Structure 1
Amino acid sequence: MEKICLITGVSRGLGKALANKFKKEGFIIIGVSRSKVDFDIDFHIQADITKKEDIERIIKEFEKNFDKLDVLINNAGIGLYESWKKTNEEDLRKLFELNFFAPVLLTQRFLKYLKKTKGTIINVSSVAGKMHIPYMGAYCSSKFALNAFSYSLRAELQPYDINVLNLIVGRIKTDFSSNALGSIKITPNTPVLGSSPEKFAEATYKAYKKRKREIVYPYWYKFLIYFSNLFPSIYDKLALKKWQTVIEE
């Protein structure tokens, strides 16, 4: 019997790469995104997951066509480049609605289907959920919250044999920065470093198959996280200096 995977933010970037990888491995792909997709998936629901009425519509569309779910990938998210002094409430709430509340609400609604299959929940978090970053404090806060959700959810779901895989993601070549909220814009000449979405999707699938609890990708970010927590004062100075050279004042 074919397995079913639902992915949010499927239309581009990490979501698109994950959809292609899981489809290649034989999964039926249900994609959710605000934009239409430009590649082949099995079933697409065009919706804004920050709206409660759209979440209800997603559930209804799913229930009309499927009766089980093997993998839920909470991938949709957005960045925010701004100092805390200038962070406005509208952007902050928009950030948390997409990065935290939407994954929580969708997971709650799909739990009964994941229990049937002893499935997997994959939350796409960030290195920013493990360490603080100047001018990204609000984004860090949303991902710290998502991490706490993943860890506590995993413990609660142990009796049902549902695994929660938390992805601690570093810099990957996507349009994350160009789509981010906030008044700070990354300068055009800033080098775009990082791994590819396709390699990230490969690593995610391997972790899913091994039922891992968490991975850091690319792996070398583990050392940066360790350093920031072991030497916070030194990290603060270095991070602030670095960021002041790549943002437009």
Structure 2
Amino acid sequence: MNILLTGAGSGLGKATTEYLSRFGNCIFACDLKPPVKENNIIPMAVDITQENQLKAVFTELQKGHVKLDAMINVAGIFHMDNLLEIQEERLVKMLEVNLLGAIRVNKIFFPLLREHGKILITSSEVAPLDPLPFNSVYHITKTALDSYAQALRQEAGLLGYHVITVRPGAFATPLEQSSVPSMREMSESSRYFGGQAERFAKLMRMFTGKPADPVKYAELIEKILRKKHPAAVYTIHANIGLRLLALLPKNMQVSVVKLLLK
């Protein structure tokens, strides 16, 4: 298979790139700092927030008569912050990468996708749940991405294409590891939520448990690519605590969070 994969330079994207390439798949590995060129891995240095850069990669592939069997959207960034104090630049960046980046990639490269090809969109386990404090902007981008995936599933499905949403929980990646320093930064700088931010970070570590091996995610992606009729949504390594909290009435969720962060 010929596969375009974003976020290939680290975390889940890197693990998936390496894993899929072992099966003889040709991976066009897109990232700001893509992996080095190896057998079946073709690095593509590109910023998915820049339409002109994506179009340049498209033109390069088109000139090489490349046809894609799948597009896998993994690129994403994470930062814990609060809605009342988040810097505008950080807010826009998270929206650009986590949501608009995927929309751009799929729109620009769709003409290269073979008939009945697959578009995989990496959302998050939190996407269908109610948001928690300090994880709100990331959550908003992933919930919007989930809605986008369903809308694209409807439209691309009319043309015979498969759109699959993958909702991973916590995995041992740089993105997951960034939660502690970003929460510490907010705790030190916030006028409103200093102590509560620290307590929330401890609670999240307790709730999340041990992050999973990124290879498990890569194995799931490989299975999805092989399926003739994949499911619409796959969830992997979900956090049961978050799911249970989301089952409560919304006002009760607020009360529980207040109690836990008191």
Question: 1:66 & 1:128 partners in 2: Cα distance?
Answer: 39
CA contact (8 A) 1:99 1:146 kept: yes
Residue matched to 2:234: 215
Measured after TM superposition, the shift of residue 6 of structure 1 is 0.8
Other-structure match for 1:235: 253
Aligned to 1:10: 8
Give the secondary structure class of the aligned counterpart of 1:171.
Answer: coil
Determine if the alignment matches structure 1 residue 166 to structure 2 residue 165.
Answer: yes
Contact in 2 for aligned 1:216/1:222 (Cα 8 Å): no
Q: Give the corresponding residue for 1:103.
A: 102
Residue 68 of structure 1 is matched in structure 2 by 67
1:45 match: secondary structure: strand
* Matching residue of 1:135: 134
Shift of 1:39: 7.0
Deviation at 1:239, TM superposition (A): 4.5
Q: How does 1:51-200 map to 2 (within 5 A)?
A: 51-114=50-113, 116-131=114-129, 132-179=131-178, 183-184=185-186, 193-200=210-217
Letter in 1 for 2:163: V
Alpha-carbon spacing, 1:177–1:155, altered in 2? closer, same or farther (3 Å): same
Cα distance between partner residues in 2 of 1:27 and 1:241: 50
TM-score, normalisation: structure 1: 0.85
Q: 1:78 to 1:32 in 2, by over 3 A?
A: same
**Higher mean Cα deviation, 43-52 or 173-182?**
173-182
Three-state SS of the structure 1 residue aligned to 2:68 is: coil
Letter in 2 for 1:6: L
The structural deviation recorded for 1:197 is 0.3
> How many Å separate the matches in 1 of 2:258 and 2:165?
28
Q: 3-state DSSP class of the match of 1:103?
A: helix
What residue ranges of structure 2 are gaps of 5+ in the alignment? Answer: 188-196
Helix, strand or coil at the partner of 1:146 = helix
Instruction: Give, in whole Å, the separation in 2 of the partners of 1:174 and 1:68.
Output: 31
| Residues 1:197 and 1:240: Cα distance change in structure 2 (over 3 Å) | farther
How far apart, in 2, do the equivalents of 1:27 and 1:112 lie? 20
Q: How many residues align?
A: 240
Name the structure 1 match of 2:193: none
Task: Report if aligned partners of 1:130, 1:144 keep a CA contact under 8 Å in 2.
Answer: yes
Name the CA shift for 1:179/1:158 in 2 (closer, same or farther; >3 Å). Answer: same
Letter in 1 for 2:214: P
CA RMSD of aligned residues (A): 2.6
Show the counterpart of 2:191: none
Can you give the 5+ residue segments of structure 1 that lack an aligned partner in the other structure?
A: none
Query: How far apart, in 1, do the equivalents of 2:87 and 2:138 lie?
Result: 13
Residue among 30, 33, 56 paired with 1:32? 30
What residue identity is the alignment partner of 1:212? A
Question: Alignment identity in percent?
Answer: 22
Q: Partners in 1 of 2:216 and 2:46 — Cα distance? A: 27
SS at match of 1:70: strand
Question: What whole-Å deviation, never above 9, does each CA across 1:123-154 have from its counterpart, x for those lacking one?
Answer: 11112222212101111111111111100110
| 1:221 shift after superposition | 3.3
Secondary structure, counterpart of 2:107 in structure 1: helix
